[in-house]
Structures are given as structure tokens and as C-alpha cells.
Structure 1
């Protein structure tokens, strides 16, 4: 940001920033009562950034007012196609305005006028006398206000749009923006413009004829017949469009410049509001009066910089009964190296072992090995998997892990935004570790890391009590903690990848993409940036004249759903879909996997995430092996690159229709139970029940629809979802669902009672006792309540399936101890093993026995086994 704008007048387009925040921050941001807060959070952070980065002397925020403006009198259809404000945003608007008030920023709005007109009025009334004005907005029409003293500011990048920048961006001067919009229109604001004229054509016309009047005065000089005819036919529309695009700077608002001087927030009101919204972390960052990190009086924090100090710590640990251990790692997962290690001997005493530039990892692990291996020395930590993995690289098996605060927090409330020491320390204790920047003084780093270790010791008491109180202690000690050790072992071993196969595939896809580009250009009749949504939109809807399907804030959408519909009318959308799919396959999978092959092992060492999904399912990253594509030739070749070592083969063990079996067990529905007990084709049986035919008369189409119904029911899918899935009408989808519930009545009763119970208790549980809060059921927004109902139905089923495979993994890992075979991956309901050829039969029997016997249901649990040399062959 230029220094001359540091003391200036900042005018914020509140409506524009509000929408931008709503779409930028995940919808998962809610209060414990289920009220959405993502837009408020994003808006608050935006205000913070603007005020902190630019320190303006004067500030105002302009908002649109609900209801028609004077432009609706000019054109009744003005903004008629713009979708209504989403319910999840509208309920946040009052809190956004409260936040503006808490910041002590004047909010300016006026009935019958838009925020853009209010901003134009503020610029006119308050400008002059050398005052620099910066406007924060995403609207194109605002560029007409730009001059030597007024800029449009992109606050994220600090980019200022002055007159030359406007000319570079749109090809016209700021004074010509109204005429540009008169010709090209603005779909987001419902300004029609002249059909067939886009921004580039409009800019060329204005470069030659200067204004709308100039163009029509020289209409006979325009040589392109179609362009001339379109301009002639749409003359009235063009001038109307300019009137709609013209900002009116005479809104009757009272706003003297001195009344807009920024004096800082009302910290008392800001703290109250942040508490109400449950933005507890922001209180610490934004409110000076809020309690900061608590320093423990008499704390004994020391750095361990040499072998003598390390030996002294080892001696202290020999007499300690328990300790808090916090690793400081550089990198992630298997490739991470130790940067430091903090050990708390009690809540006030901790040591910080410094490895970078001081002690070597080998020296540290050798000295600490007796402590780490001693089962009677209880180690509390914030990441037991990382501790197992790091020590395991040196051949040390860590024993005696007590409480992993992240795993405990995850079990107590899986929907917490974070399960880190920083978040939990502040949320539960009102304290948090200090921020440590790269290159910080060693004393600062020592205090920060030691404090982190002591916070672990303090959190242990609270979290252990909550685990016991909520009946989750058994799930922690028997499932999540043992599983962390299993996952560390799986990550350490990894899975082999044939680099040559993937490199060849990458080159072949690149050639195919170049060929597809040529096909797209030929079909389009021009070259353009295929990866630019803006250029693609101009091509499809302006040059090719295809009918737009849906709008976004920035224009017409070109997402896959839209392109699929448009593909019926033209080849370009169809070709673009194929290009995008192949391009994503190359970048997200082929090239990403190649980059992640460990040079020392030739294997991929994915990171399994235990505390991410609210249902209890595992996820993986670097790379995400749970999302490796299945369909298509290229996808098959990616999977073929994952190969077993010589003398080994892959064994895949997959739970068969486990979620439907769990539904049968939990609902007690006699038809579902009967079908599974007879080992029938469940989808064929459902088709027979729903369509009223004998099983032998079920067609493949009936079975396909029944399969969608079966799995849709588990996820709480309604008529709209099923109609979209099957490509049928809402009425037909409703009839299918009604017929299903007529036959499977106990399934319906189970779903209704599960939702009702979750609404009363505020949570739901799996067969193993895992709990998930469902605050969405208490939301004032109907769409959020419906989401809550779907979560309440699906979580016990999907969560129970996740618990089953976790329990099986722990049992199988224990039995694999004396064998050469090893467990490599967990992908949804499937386990992948690398089986020594001589142990194959034994492993098959062992895996099937353990997986099928992990829990007794009212229906048989069935596991399918596949054998093959690569992942594609066992799919």
C-alpha cells in the first residue's frame, strides 16, 4: 500500500465484503447452538486486516437496504435474476452490523438507494483538500469513481487501481466505465447491455468513438453488419443500461468528514459480541482488556543445549512418574525432522531440548530412550502418532503413553475447530502458548515450547475427567490411542510406487492435453485461456451465444454441472469437461504422487489423520490415498503404479455393504435382516420390494435405482437429492422414497427416533459409544435443521463402520507382529495388505476372521478378499 494512503478515508462496500466473506469461510463455522458464523468471522477478519494494515484516519461502511431502489423504477426487471440472499447469510447480517458498531465504524445506508450510490455520495461530499480516498469493493461500476485522489483497493493484495490501472484492466478510462457497462452489461447487477457485445468489443468502440453518444453519432461508420444491427436495435437498452450503471452522488445522507474519523473499537462491546459468537481466540488477539496468557509464578523453564544438560534432564526423568512431551517438528509425517523437544516435569517445570545447531537427533533419542521405552513413566502429549513415528525411525518403541490431548479432545467434541495445544489451552484454561517466529531468540523459543509442554500437563486433568464423565475413556484407551501406534507403523512402512510408470503416464497425459487444447480451439473458432473462468464465460455466453444456466456474484457460472447441461448444445463445453478432468488427474494425482515419493525408500508415506472427520472416519494427506480415482483408463494406470515388493502381493479386504448391514442391525427391520441372512443381492431385493415385482423380474435399471435409494437413505437423502442422483422428477423420487418406507417401516421409525433423540440430547452415538454433537438441529434456519437431521441419521451408521474397521486394524496389527506381511493402507471400508507369498493363505484366513468377528450384529458381517500385484488389480 502506498504510504500516502496511510492517512486517508477508507470507504468499505459492506454488502460486497459480506458476500465475499460468506463464500470464503467454510460453512462449518457455527456456534455450539448451531447458528452459522462464517460470514461474521470473515467480515471481522477483513475489518481487522484493513484497520491494522492501512491505519486509515477516516472510515465508513456502506450497506444496501432491503427493498427496491430508484433503479427498479427505470427497469422493473433490474436484478430480477439475482438469487435471494442465502438463509445462512441473512441470519448473520444483524451480527455483522453489530460488529461494525463494536468497531465504532459509521454504517451508512439509505432506503431506495444502493450502497454504491452511498459510496459515490461520500466520495463527492468528503473529497478534496488533498484527502486520499480508498474504496474497498468488488463491483465493476465503482471504477467510474476512480481519479487521481480516489482508488479502488484490493485489500488482500494491497493492489490499488488508479486511472492507468483501470485503463489496463478494462481498456477504458474511469469516466468511460458507465459507457462500457452500457454496452457490455453486467450480469451480476442485471444490467442488460447490448446483445453480442462483450467488454473487449465495448472497449474498442469507446477507444474509437469515446462515448455512447459518439458511437451512435457514427453508427453508419461501423463496418461489421451484425454489430451495427445489434447497436441499432438496442439503442434504447444501451442508454437505459448506462443510466442503471451510473452512480448517483446525491444521496441525502448526513456525513461530515470529522464524524467519520476512526478512534478505535468499543472494546467492552467487542468482547461481549465476540463471546456471544464464540470467537474466543479473537478475544485474545483483539481485546486488550481480555485476559492474556497467564504466566506461572516461579516457573522453571530451561533450555537444554548440550550433552551435559541433556544428561541432567535424563536424571530428572528417571525419578519422574509422568511428564508432558511436546515435539517441535520441521516438515510433516514420515519426512519430518526434530527441531526441538519440550518436556514438562510438572505444571511449572519444563525443559526445552534444542536440536537445530546444537544437539543431534541421534544424541537426543539415545539419551531419552530409557525414559521413552519405560512403560511405568507416563508420557502425556499432544501428538502420540508423531511421537511413535519419530522414535520409531531410530528403532525405539515408545511405551507408557498416557493422555494424547488431541485424541481426547477429538473424542469429547469432534466438531471443535482445532484440537491443538494452542486452541485447547485458550478454550479450556484461558492460556495459550506464545507465538514463535522463525529466527526467534532461543530464550523466547524456550519459554514458548516449555509453556506448551506445561499446558499439556494442565489439560490432562480436565480432559481425563471429561472422557470419564461422557463414557469415552474406554474408546480412548482401547481404540484411538492404540490406533495411533498402528497408524505410525503404517506411515513408516509406506507403499511402493513405480516411478517410471507414473512418469510415462504424466508425459502421455501432457501430450493428450495439448491435443485436446487444439480440439477446443477448433470447436471455439478462437484461442483463449482454457483455465480462465472469465474468458470461458465470455466465449460460451457472448461469442457462442449459449444460454447461461446459473449466476454467481462475479458472473455466469462455468462449473461442471453447468458445462454438462451446455454440452448438449455445443462441443466446447463437452471438450472442456474432459480437459479439466484429465488436467486435474495429472496435477492432483500423477504429478503430486511423483513429487511425494521418498527418495530414500522409493515409497509413498501418506499421513493418516485421526482427528479430522466428525464421524470418526480416518482421512489421509500427502497424498490423499483415499481419493485415488477408480474409473477410467488413466485412473487405472495410476493405481497400477502402486506395486507390491518382490516376493509379496497385495491383499485387499473390503467390508461388504457394511453401512446397510449396520442400518439393518440398528433399525431391526425384518426385510433388511432377512435379505442379509439369506445373502441375497440387497439392491435386487430392494428393487423387488419398491417396484412390486418378483426378484427374477428386476431389471438392471430397477436395480440401479434401488441401489441409489439404499445408499441415499443412509445419508438422509430426500426427494431433491434422489431426483438429482437418478435424473428423475421430484414427484417420482418422492414416490420411490414413500414406497421404500412402506416396505421398510422400521427403517423409517429408526430414522425418525434417531433424529428426535439427537434433538433432545444434542448429540448422537455409534455402536461403540463415539459421540457427535448435532447443534444444527437447534438452528433457527430450516435448511440447517435439515442438515442436522441428515447428520443425525448418517453419523451412527458411518461412525459405527469407522469404529469397526479401526478395531479390526488394532487386532490385525497385533497378530502381524511375527509375520513378514504388513498392513499398508486403510481406504474407507477396505484394508490393503502387502502379503508375503508364503503367508498368503494364513493372512487371508486371519484377516477375514478378525474383520468379520470384530462385532456381533443381527446380520452376518461379510468381508470380500481380492489378491493382485498392484492396487488396480485388487479393486
Structure 2
């Protein structure tokens, strides 16, 4: 080993435990715990990237039984058994190390520290250097001029001077200190009554443990007595703490030389454990040939492409644009693919400092020539997030028709719990191909270019690859949809919803900007009044928006008693839960909650919404996301229109600002108690079914049953409690949380739950069956066959498994409600179109549909919406729809 060579020895146990406790929960798509595997891999990658070792090995413990347990059976006996969710990750971690082509060293009868010590001594003696990667202080005893420690998590190196600073002695005497002080983590006894500080002082004074024990009679007081009494125990403890450097392990330096990782093996493991980001980073490579990619720059080439599209049954389309906002985006180019590994790119908007880059056809000419193919139902169209392309084309006067397949949606339907369904990740996972990233083409940060500024040749390769990958993914996903029994759900629900959502988003929602401005002023005035009263009660002024200052005022200055520390123990928690528990007794807490509520309404809605109004349309445009939630529900973003409060007067005032244009009204159509109706249908529970068939108030009926009263005797408070019971028990709520939510004794809550379960035995039995199905199959299903994975249902961690069991109960009900509202949207939209009405669906908010309706179509629309929503899906009990209208959303709700 030369002076330039450095051997890195990774303490595997140190990495494993750090990863396990740093990342508390992570699991693979099949439910296998992966938090430690992932954390270990990231730490190993950090080492490899930042230090690029030329020689490296990872060293593991092989078992508890070693020569130390023969010397002292209680060695490490105080350690708890390895947690089940950690034990099952130990083998995969070794597999990953081997896939990195890094030697994984272990030896029965010895600990990893002994192997590390032996190799460090052996290879440093030949003239090289050794870096031990660990956070374990015990390894400081083997530090030399040529052997150092490296804690990659803290970016700290430890040399001889650092050992002396830590223990007060040179490395060879560290075990003497451990012999005296012992080590509680390893159950090394040491000398009772002598701690580390005293041990350091004694060793410095007497030179070594041997000399100290020889002169123990000179040590006065109890320390002297203990040294004389526990002499043999001190020597045993030192022996237990001493790292063996004579381990019989045969490893040559050449065997530890760094090698390229086995990318195929890593790819297999990363896919197995769901490490999508790592797949892209480490194992992705270019596998799609670009030889069949063409750039269309001449009229004759465009004509050839148009004729080829006419003759094809289907084609993939992808647009390159100047913006991600479809209402602002200008088309830079269009790419197409309808044969494997072949694609065409038509540049129409690439610019340079001198204007348009040469070699492009006019955008209007290209769109007009492609219009018949794009607007015709045949050939059918394939895309990745094709809703965006549809919206951009609509802004340019082209109505994309014949949309048949969206690869992003197909991926979602196949696995709703997957983290993201972007094209790059899908190509990597399903095609084994690393896509050219957007940043590789445009740059990043301050130097990032708009796509319109990218050179045509570079842009063409990128755009053709997008179309090619989309085409290939559609061919891969199509049979998978059928194999997994979700083909009908995909083609009858998810795909037909795409143009409906595109139309809703493009149309937008009209806002009363003046009303929002008035609300902002009112909120500001009321916040100022609240602030003054809060300062008066506090006896001081402070920053109300600073949790640190607020905590100090409440729990140190005012001495309120129910405070709890924050997670990092650095200050007092002032979250809403804490303040709510204080509010009943302390006016200041109630006022702070009121202040926060107004502040959120002001910043999130009355101030923010006007800024989001598009200058061209005069409306606010949200994005509805089909591939975000695990249950199939739509989500809304930029802005989120599904989260506008309804219960408070202030929240309802925000909804007042969502208005109808002149000559129109707003209709709100809301499913009544949809989730309980779904449960009644799925379970066949006779009590629920009878109540819904007779249009009874289910919460009043539950209150009547639980409290043993006639329905006429049920009070509003009893009904509220029954509603909490109905929804709480369905979603796995226990007696403790139910008691807390209702403000009743836990025993009373237990009685409520017991009575409820007795009356609704069939519903409870169905929920239990959901858990069994999840345990047996790994997923649950909805009314329309949507498969919802329950990844952690077999977790060995009790808390994680309990959470998964709650999901197994929740998902079929919430997912079925999502199926129903989506089906309703499709049916209503179809009727509006078939009857030639001008009214429009403008919002979807959980179980509610909101329409902008012409006044002369009001009656027709109310009848139409009620009819189609009530029969969106055939159930054994009726679906009830509450419909109302008004000049704004609040009045209509």
C-alpha cells in the first residue's frame, strides 16, 4: 500500500442505526419497510460522491455471540431485541452493498469493530492511510497518525488531537478510561461509582489503568475502595472494550479496490423498494435510439407527416411551450410518434437574439394543416398529461378530439400510491431509459433559458424522445390495465374526465374583486382590534406571528399551565391544538385563535385570490389534479378551490366573492351523506339501508338508537354527537379520541361505540373484511373496481400497521365516493352537450358540483343535474342530491 492510497472502512452498524432513527417510516410499494435501506443507501452515496475512495469496504456485525460474550455473558445483554421492521431490512442492505460492488465484510465470533481494527492496523502498517467512517467513539482507541475517523453526517474528522480533546488521553489509553467508567450502551460494568470524568482524571494522574490499580492503595476515599474491590472487573471491562487487531480475516488490499456498481442489480433493487429518484440518479441510461427521430422544417416534410398521421389508427402527441400555464403558453413545437422508436418534431416558435431561428414553418400554417387530424375523433390521441396539450391547443383555436390514452393517468390507475407519475420516472422504471432532462436542454438557475431559446437540433432530440417514450409507455400500460382489472375504470371514468376538467379550468371562475378588497380591509381592522386586546391581556407587546415570542408570553410571562415543548424541545408549542385546549379558560388563547383565523383568510384568500385573476379572461383558473390523492379523489391547486372554509361566517363571506356573470346564477349540487350511503351499499347494513330508503336523517336516527330516545326527542347536540360517532367509527376512531372530540368520559365513549357496533354489526363486519382483503391481497377496491394499495398492512411496526388498517377501512369508502362524483361529472357534462345547453360545470369540491347557469336554463339544469347525479352509479339505496342556487356560491350552497 503506497503513501497515496487510502482505505475507507465503513462501520455498517453505525450507518444502519443512524438511518433507522433518522427516517422513521418508509415502505416499498409492496409494504416492505425501507426507511433504513434508503437512509443507508443515501449515506453510502454521500461518501462515494464526496470522497471517491479508491479502496473501500463496509463492515457488519454478524451476530450477538462473540468472544466477548464468552468472557462476559452479560455483554450487551441490556440491549433490546432488534425491532422487527429493522431486522427485515438487514439482508437487503447487504444486497445493496454488494450491488454497489463494495465488499461486505463480517466474521462470526467477532464484531465489526474488531474487523475494522484489524484491517486498519494491517494496511496502515504498509504505509497507506485508513479512514474509518463511523460515529462510534469506541473506535477512537485505534486512531494513529495514519488512521483517522470520519463522521460523514457531521462532516467531522477525528485525529489524535481530537481523541485527546475528547478523552484527555492519547488513543491507546482510551480503553483504560472505558475499563474504569464502563459503557452502559454495551453493558460493560467498569468500576461502580467512577464516571468518565473521574476516570479521565485518574488515568491522567497515574498514567495508565495498570499503574492506577498497582497504586490503588494511594487513592483516598470511596474511589480507592472501589478500585481495590473491583480490580478484576476493571481489567475485564478494559478487555471487553478493547478492539482486537488480530482477527483471522483474509482480505487483500486489491480485493477492496473500488469498482463500478452493478447498475442492473441496483436497478432491480431500487425498483423493488420504490427508490425512483435513485433509479434515475444511478442506474438510468439511454436505451432509446434517436436514429428514427426527424425534424420537420419543409412544407413537403409536413405534408408527408400529415398523410402518415391520417393513415395511422392512433398517435402520440406532445407540445413544447413557453410556459406551464396553458393560458399563457405559446407553442414552440409539436412532436408526434406512431411507430416504436420513431418520432417527428415540428419547430414553430424557436427564437434567437436576431428573431426566429431559421428552418421553421409558420405556426399558423402548421396548426391549420394539422387541424383535421387533431380535431377528428380518428386517429385517436395519446399523451402524457394530455390535458395540458388540449388546453394549449384550445387557446390557439384547435379543439383536440379523440383523446384515448394518457400515460400519466394509466400509471396512476395502476398504482395510485406511487410518488409522482412524471414521464422521466415512468420511462426509467418501465422502459429502462434515462430521459434527457429539461435542465440539460434549458440549463438551470439564473442562466436557464426559455424552451423557445433552445437550438432546434437540441430541442428536436428532446421533444422526439418525449413523444417516443409516451408512445412506448402506452403500449406497455395498455395490457397492464387489463391484467389488473382496471381497464374499464381507466377508459370509462378517468379518460372521459380529461376534457371535462380541461374545459372547467379554461373557463375559470368569476370573482367579485371589490368584495374581496372590502373583506381584506375588514379583516385588517378586526385583526388590529384583536391584537390590541391580546397585548392588553399579555401586559406587553410582541410579534403575534412569532411562535417563540408567543410561547414565552403565554407560558413564561403569564404562566399558563398546559404548555408543551416543541418537537426539538427548543421552545413552547403554540399550535392550534394547544391554544384550543387553553381557550375555554383563558380569553387570550381564544383571541389568538380568532386572530390566526382572520390572518389565514386574509393572506390565503381575500389578498391572494385577486392576484390570481388572469388578465385576459378576468377569471381565476385552478388546476384539477387526477393523479395526486391515493383514493381517486380530485385535488385542486394554484389556487386550491376545494379548501375554502364554509363553517365560519368569515369563510362564507369568501364564497360570496365567487359570483355568476350577468344573466347567470350559481347552482350548487351536493351529495348528501355520500360516504355513509356508500357504506350502506357496500355492507348491506339493514339499519343504514332502511334509513336511507325512507329518507330519514341518519344522524338523528343514530342518536335515537345510541341514547335510547324517540327521534323527536333528539336534541341538536345529540345529533352532533351522533354525526361524530357515525363518521368517527367508520374511520377507525377509538374511544379515547372519540371521548376527546365529544368532550365526554372515555367510558361513555366506549358505551357509544359498543352500542353502535351492536346496531350496525353488518357495517362493522364489512369494515373488518376490508382489513382482511388488504392483508391477503395488498389492496382494497372501490365500487367501480379502482385498486387502492395498502402498502403497510403487514408492517411489523404496530403503529404503522394500525394506520394501514385505518386506510384499508377508509379507502374503499372514500374511493367509491370519488368514483361516484367522477361518474356524475361525466353524465352531467354529456347531458349538457346533448341538449345543447350553454350552462357550464365550473368547480368540483369534494362531493359538490358547482355550475354557472344561464337564468333561462335554471329549471332545466336543476332537473338535469339532480337526475344524472342521483343515478351516477347504481346502488342498492338512493343517492340523494341537495341542489340550490344563488347569485354567488355562498347563497347557492
CA contact (8 A) 2:664 2:853 kept: yes
The 5 A counterparts of 1:413-812 are 413-436=415-438, 437-439=440-442, 441-545=455-559, 546-549=561-564, 551-556=566-571, 558=573, 559-567=575-583, 572-812=588-828
Query: CA deviation digits over 1:402-452, x for unaligned, max 9?
Result: 321122222222122222322222222212422133536543332232122
Return the offset for 1:659.
1.5
For residue 353 of structure 1, what is the aligned residue in structure 2? 346
CA contact (8 A) 1:823 1:833 kept: yes
Q: SS of 2:720's equivalent?
A: helix
Report how far residue 773 of structure 1 moved. 2.1
Deviation at 1:117, TM superposition (A): 12
Please list, as runs of the form range in 1=range in 2, the aligned pairs for 1:100-115 lying within 5 A after superposition: none
Give the alignment partner of residue 30 of structure 2, picking from 23, 26, 33: 33
Tell me what 1:185 maps to.
Answer: none
User: Structure 1 pair 97/367, CA: closer, same or farther in 2 (3 Å)?
Assistant: same
Matched, 1:830 2:844: no
Larger Cα-atom Rg: 2
Q: Which residue of 1 aligns with 2:23?
A: 22
Does the CA-based 8 Å contact 1:385-1:485 persist in structure 2? yes
The alignment of Structure 1 onto Structure 2 pairs a total of residues equal to 743
Q: Partners of 2:646 and 2:58 in 1: how far apart?
A: 50
Whole-angstrom CA distance in 2 between matches of 1:335 and 1:496:
18
SS in 1 for 2:878: coil
Distance 1:276 1:495, change over 3 A: closer
1:326 aligned partner:
318
How far does residue 802 in structure 1 lie from its aligned partner after superposition? Answer: 1.6
Change (3 A) 1:767 1:682: same
Return the alpha-carbon distance in structure 2 between the equivalents of residues 50 and 733 of structure 1.
Answer: 54
Find the residue that maps to 2:636 and give its secondary structure. strand
1:302 aligns with 2:301: no
Inter-partner Cα distance in structure 1 for 2:97 and 2:749: 46
1:55 and 1:134, CA in 2 relative to 1: closer, same or farther beyond 3 A?
same
1:837-856 alignment runs, 5 A limit: 837-856=855-874
- Distance in structure 2 (CA, Å) of the matches to 1:512 and 1:835: 36
Once the two structures are superposed, what CA deviation does each residue of 1:98-152 show, in whole Å capped at 9, x if it has no partner?
Answer: 87898779999999xxx999577889986999x99997668xxx99x999x99xx
What is the rounded CA distance, in whole Å, between the counterparts of 2:554 and 2:749 in structure 1?
A: 33
Q: Evaluate the alpha carbon distance shift between residue 809 and residue 321 of structure 1 in structure 2; reply closer, same or farther with a 3 A threshold.
A: same
Q: 1:560 to 1:426 in 2, by over 3 A?
A: same
**Kindly tell me: are residues 381 and 685 of structure 1, through their superposed partners in 2, closer, same or farther at Cα, counting changes over 3 Å?**
same
> In the superposition, relative to structure 1, how do residues 101 and 470 fare at CA in structure 2: closer, same or farther (>3 Å)?
closer
Note if contact 1:650-1:874 (Cα within 8 Å) is conserved in structure 2: yes
SS in 1 for 2:381: strand
Secondary structure of 1:728 counterpart: coil
Q: CA deviation at 1:743?
A: 1.0
Preserved CA contact (<8 Å) 1:17 1:137: no
Counterpart contact for 1:659–1:797, Cα < 8 Å: yes
In structure 1, the partner of 2:74 is none
Q: Is the 8 A contact 1:408 1:467 kept in 2?
A: yes
| Mapping 1:240-251, distance limit 5 Å | none
Aligned: 1:344 with 2:352 = no
Give the CA deviation at 1:626.
0.7
In structure 2, relative to structure 1, the CA distance for the partners of 1:660 and 1:17 (3 Å cut) is same
Supply the RMSD in Å over aligned alpha carbons: 4.6
Give the drift of 1:333: 4.6
Q: Is the 8 A contact 2:841 2:849 kept in 1?
A: yes
Residue matched to 2:191: none
TM-score, scaled to structure 2: 0.73
Contact 2:134-2:149 within 8 A present in 1 as well: no
TM score, norm. by length of structure 1: 0.74
Contact 1:11 1:135 in 2 (8 A): no
The SS at the match of 1:775 is coil
Contact 1:823 1:831 in 2 (8 A): yes
Q: Is the 8 A contact 2:671 2:880 kept in 1?
A: yes
3-state SS in 1 of match to 2:744: coil
Partner of 1:188: none
Contact 2:732 2:809 in 1 (8 A): yes
Q: Matched residues in 1 for 2:596 and 2:40: separation? A: 32
Tell me, which stretches of 5 or more residues in structure 2 are unaligned? 1-7, 65-80, 106-110, 115-131, 163-240, 246-252, 352-359, 443-453
The answer to whether the Cα contact below 8 Å between 2:15 and 2:134 also exists between their aligned partners in 1 is no
Q: Residue 333 of structure 1 contacts residue 386 of structure 1 at CA under 8 Å; is this kept in 2?
A: yes
Equivalent position of 1:314 in the other structure: 306
Change (3 A) 1:700 1:323: same
Task: Name the residue aligned to 1:248.
Answer: none
Closer, same or farther in 2 for the Cα pair 1:756/1:497, shift >3 Å? same
Rounded Cα–Cα distance in structure 1 between residues aligned with 2:305 and 2:324: 26
